[in-house]
């Protein structure tokens, strides 16, 4: 198995969506540019969702029309996926020349209602329509399953519900499904157990990615465990930014700096320049006026 990992940087979308104070479009596009300059080649740049649901990203139109995005979209082997909840989002993304969208659904009912205002069944049906429309428009489609271990309202999520959501997303044509521990409650034990269960039920490991939030400080350990289980794609967020407005109490994603540091130490290629990434993390934290959640960044700054 190829040891190399691919990082999907979700800072500009997951990282910023939960920030209360308005972040200017210029800062968002500059962040994307700096992430690219650090070596990241897959960057989820924004979402096209209801502006009432996520006011921070209502400038997705300006981001997608920006010079930065236009330039980066031309660069070699760069992917700039955009999160969309419905056909409206997919059509808008297409109008701006987006070539990859991500659809999302929850394995559990409570979060599904809170996040996308529908049941799990309706979420699956909606994602299927979106995937079908996106493919017709020539875009490739990634999928997310949220609440793989627990739901903020319903408690623990049964493995069977995650399996169903993953299979549905694969069957509607998602080339990859990212497993979202939205609440950041899972531990490496849970990660191994779930991945094994999915694999025993014919889900190919090569089509899975890990998306771990760090509420309980388990995210980096979870990445490593998933790597040991054979997963090679991980979502992460510069400076550990992130969180979902509809998952109260959950904190950010695993910090990209920490993930790169860990894989560097393990001699696993990520093709990311850690020093440049740390500088990017410091820069965005100074713009947002918050401390970094990346331990590697804090340690490297203290030197
Ligand atoms: P709804 O209220 O049921 O739907 O929301 P609606 O169709 O009635 O639309 C309501 C309003 O939103 C209307 O505007 C629509 O036009 C507008 P109004 O007529 O009231 O002025 N609207 C849109 N505007 C722009 N772009 C669109 C769009 N769609 C509708 N695409 C809906 C349902 C799904 C739209 C809403 O609940 C929504 O947008 N939810 C998204 C919430 C979200 O973005 N959550 C965070 C991302 S998911 C996440 O973070 C988890 C993840 O990271 C993985 C993990 O950690 O687990 C991916
Ligand atoms: Mg997330």
Least confident of 43-52, 130-139, 169-178, 294-303: 294-303
Q: Looking at this predicted complex, what is its ipTM?
A: 0.98
> Average pLDDT in the 213-224 region?
98
pLDDT tier, 301 (very low <50, low <70, confident <90, very high otherwise): confident
pLDDT tier, 243 (very low <50, low <70, confident <90, very high otherwise): confident
Which CA distances in Å does 160 have to 125, 194, 264?
Answer: 18, 10, 35
The rounded distance, in Å, linking the Cα atoms of 209 and 179 is 6
For ligand 1, say whether the CB of 244 is within 6 Å of any of its atoms.
yes
For ligand 1, say whether the CB of 88 is within 6 Å of any of its atoms.
yes
Rounded to the nearest integer, the mean pLDDT of the chain is: 97
- Residue 290: predicted pLDDT: 96
Q: Catalytic pick from 60, 118, 174, 244?
A: 244
Q: Which ligand 1 atom minimizes the distance to the CA of 126?
A: 34
> Average pLDDT in the 114-135 region?
98
Distance of CA 183 to the CA centre of its chain: 13
Q: Is the pLDDT of residue 80 over 90?
A: yes
Which CA distances in Å does 166 have to 26, 73, 180, 302?
Answer: 36, 29, 11, 42
The rounded distance, in Å, linking the Cα atoms of 33 and 284 is 12
> Average pLDDT in the 68-89 region?
96
Least confident of 76-85, 130-139, 239-248: 239-248
Which one of the ligands is nearest to 182 CA? 1
The residue to mutate among 49, 62, 249, having the most atoms of ligand 1 within 8 angstroms of its beta carbon, is 49
For ligand 1, say whether the CB of 242 is within 6 Å of any of its atoms.
no
- Residue 2: predicted pLDDT: 81
* Percent with pLDDT over 90 in the chain: 96
Nearest CA to ligand 1 atom 22: 50
pLDDT digits (tens, 9 = 90+) for 151-182: 999 999 999 999 999 999 999 999 999 999 99
For ligand 1, say whether the CB of 50 is within 6 Å of any of its atoms.
yes
Tokens of 40: 């990241």
Q: Is the pLDDT of residue 281 over 80?
A: yes
Q: Is the pLDDT of residue 1 over 90?
A: no
What is the Å distance from ligand 2's center to 283 Cα?
22
Q: For this structure, is 229 an active site residue?
A: no
The rounded distance, in Å, linking the Cα atoms of 7 and 215 is 20
Q: Is the pLDDT of residue 82 over 90?
A: yes
- Residue 275: predicted pLDDT: 98
User: Which residue in 148, 111, 120, 125 sits closest to 246, CA to CA?
Assistant: 111
What is the Å distance from ligand 1's center to 85 Cα?
6
pTM of this structure? 0.98
- Residue 302: predicted pLDDT: 76
* Percent with pLDDT over 70 in the chain: 100
- Residue 217: predicted pLDDT: 98
């Amino acid at each position: 198995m190829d040891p190399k990992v691919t990082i999907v940087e979700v800072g500009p979308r997951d990282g910023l969506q939960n920030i209360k104070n308005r972040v200017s479009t210029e800062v968002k596009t500059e962040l994307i540019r700096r992430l690219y300059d650090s070596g990241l080649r897959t960057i989820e740049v924004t979402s096209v969702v209801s502006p009432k649901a996520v006011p921070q990203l209502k400038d997705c139109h300006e981001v997608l029309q920006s010079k930065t995005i236009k330039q980066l979209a031309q660069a070699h082997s760069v992917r700039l996926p955009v999160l969309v909840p419905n056909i409206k989002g997919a059509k808008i993304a297409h109008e701006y020349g987006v070539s990859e969208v991500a659809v999302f659904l929850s394995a559990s009912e409570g979060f599904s209602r809170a996040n996308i205002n529908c049941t799990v069944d309706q979420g699956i049906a909606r994602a299927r329509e979106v995937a079908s429309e996106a493919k017709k428009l020539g875009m490739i489609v990634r999928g997310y399953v949220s609440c793989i271990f627990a739901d903020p309202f319903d408690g623990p999520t049964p493995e069977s519900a995650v399996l169903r959501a993953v299979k549905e997303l694969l069957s509607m044509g998602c080339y990859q499904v990212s497993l979202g521990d939205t609440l950041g409650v899972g531990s490496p034990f849970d990660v191994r157990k779930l991945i094994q269960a999915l694999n025993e039920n014919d889900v190919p490991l090569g089509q899975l990615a890990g998306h771990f939030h760090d509420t309980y400080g388990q995210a980096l350990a979870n990445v490593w465990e998933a790597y040991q289980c054979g997963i090679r794609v991980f979502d992460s967020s510069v400076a550990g930014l992130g969180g979902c407005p509809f998952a109260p109490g959950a904190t950010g994603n695993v910090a990209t700096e920490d993930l790169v540091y860990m894989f560097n130490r393990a001699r696993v290629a990520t093709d990311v320049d850690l020093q440049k990434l740390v500088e990017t993390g410091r820069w965005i934290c100074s713009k947002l006026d918050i401390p970094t959640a990346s331990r590697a960044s804090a340690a490297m700054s203290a030197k």
